[in-house]
Amino acid sequence: MQRPEAGKPLIKFNHCKKYIYSFSVPQCCPLCGQVMGSMKLEEAPVSISNPFTNGHQEKCSFLLRPTQGTFLREYDGRSDLHVGITNTNGIVYNYTTCGVQRDEAGWEQSVSIPLLQPGMFGLMDQWDKYLEDFSATEAWLPERYEEDHHNCYSYTLTFINCVLTTEGKEQLGKGEFTEKYVVPRTRKASKYITLYRAIEERGFYVTDCPDEETNPPEGSGSC
Ligand SMILES: [Zn+2]
């Protein structure tokens, strides 16, 4: 299932004993020029999973995107990031200098972290009310906003902790949440961005097949 908002799909195929990444299978191999017509099964293209999703299609999730522009075009690894939380209709609640915003657009290319673990789905019925009530408290008035200490991140994490408390679970510190949930996804996203831009520039990207030399003979049963 590909969503155009999240960028063009990427694929990987095998030729000339290399992995070749591209937006689609070319007619000829970009390395040897051979017509790609009849591929063996092991050379068949596979799609690369896209780390970005359309946040407006995610229920009850934490979302992350660059404050300006998009990950695939503008993000340079140091740009400011903005975070928010979706309700069950894909409206993204986020805290800014203007108070709590309820965005119906603008989060089409986000890193998304689902907040409802299995066993918590009963919460979904009340999620929108919790989120709306939480956002109406005076902690999130525009004049309370502080760039470093009371910002979009404080808003989302405080909400997540309210939910965890309601569920009788332990609260999460900022560092713990970032390390455990955010960093693994942003790391994956950075690699994807590098690959995507290289393909946009040159049409394809090549890496060595890691097991080229050490391929065990067929049926050796190695795992
Ligand atoms: Zn080739």
Distance 30 CA to ligand 1 centre (A): 7
For residues 8 and 2, what is the distance between their CA atoms, to the nearest angstrom? 8
Distance 123 CA to ligand 1 centre (A): 53
64: part of which helix (H) or strand (E)?
strand 61-66
Distance 33 CA to ligand 1 centre (A): 6
Each domain of the chain, given as residue ranges in start order, spans: 4-51+192-208, 55-188
The tokens for 28 are: 């000829």
For residues 136 and 44, what is the distance between their CA atoms, to the nearest angstrom? 53
User: Which residue, chain included where needed, has tokens 């603008």?
Assistant: 106
Distance 11 CA to ligand 1 centre (A): 16
Could you read off the pLDDT of 99-116 as tens digits, one per residue? 999 999 999 999 999 998
Low-confidence ranges of the chain (pLDDT < 70): 1-6, 38-39, 211-223
Q: Which residues surround ligand 1, an ion (CB under 5 A)?
A: 15-16, 29, 31-32
Stated length of the chain = 223
Quick one: pLDDT at residue 122? 81
CA 203 to mean position of chain CA atoms:
23
Quick one: pLDDT at residue 120? 75
What dihedral angle (degrees, nearest 10) is formed by the CA atoms of 177, 162, 141, 129? 120
| Top-tier CATH class for 55-188 | alpha beta
